[in-house]
Amino acid sequence: MFHHQSIHVFVLIYVDDILVYSNSSSTVLGLIHYLQHNFPVKDLGPLPYFLGIQASRQLHALYLTQSKYVTNLLRRTHMDGAKPTSTPCSTARKLSRFDGDPLSDPSEYRHIVGALQYCTLTRPDIAYSVNQLFQLLHSPTTIHMVAAKRVLRYLKGTLDFGLHYTSGSLQLNGYCDSDWAGSPDDRKSTTGYGIYLGSCLISWAAKKQSVVAKSSTEAEYLSMALAFAEMYWIRMLFKEL
């Protein structure tokens, strides 16, 4: 971060990929020229693609999607010709680690679920399903593989889904919910929350609670505690920025 009078610069670095944002275009150009003078840096211009995430702008809106990443994932898993489905998981029955027969080679399942976890960066609609699949990485079965492929089929029919950001209110709002004893194996509940800056979703998660809630009320309080901790961290981050 750099702040001087009315000029603000933020630099995000991930290994050898760099994003530079500022309210002064001349300051950005000056910083890039300075880096190019001292390091082998290539300027790729306005942000089009970053770490598998596509960024596009229309008027005053920013769209973040992973359609290219998902398309490549479908091709790698031979699911590009599969029939799309309208939901990422079935509501009829919860997944259990005792369902189905063990896979002879669990590496494919783990590869799919790991890739799906990365998809949740712009797809909060699959966060719950991926969380359920992730809990079964140790010993996946045929039923678990069917559930993982269902998420892929859902993504195939929703390739253009993503995140939409516009300027507006800077008010922070959070929403949370939980089931009660939703896991058929250990009876623990699952928390889901979403944090909004104005009308823009900026943080979300689906997590299994660490303890068994004795009532639906206790499960909701645990869910609220997780959401509040996330909101507090975001508030401190904004204060620092």
Query: Mean pLDDT in runs of 10 for the chain (241 residues)?
Result: 88 89 90 90 86 89 95 96 94 91 95 97 96 95 97 96 93 95 94 96 96 96 96 93 84
Using the structure block, give the residue that is written with the tokens 């979403």.
194
> What pLDDT score does 5 carry?
87
Q: Which helix (H) or strand (E) holds 200?
A: strand 200-208
- Which of 184, 154, 143, 145 shows the shortest CA–CA distance to 89? 154
**Beta-ladder partners of 195:** 174, 203
> What pLDDT score does 187 carry?
96
> What pLDDT score does 42 carry?
87
CA distances from 72 to 75, 79, 112 (A): 5, 10, 12
CA 41 to the chain's CA centroid: 29
Cβ pair 193, 175 in contact under 8 A: yes
Q: What phi, psi does 187 have (nearest 5°)?
A: 60, 20
Mapped onto helix, strand or coil, the DSSP state of residue 39 is coil
Using the structure block, give the residue that is written with the tokens 């809990």.
135
CA dist 45 and 18 (Å) reads 11
Residue/partner pairs of 151-154 with CB below 8 Å, 24 or more apart: 151/88, 151/89, 151/116, 151/126, 152/73, 152/74, 152/77, 152/79, 152/82, 152/112, 152/116, 153/79, 153/82, 153/83, 153/84, 153/85, 154/84, 154/85, 154/86, 154/87, 154/88, 154/126, 154/129
- Retrieve residue 5's tokens: 């009078």
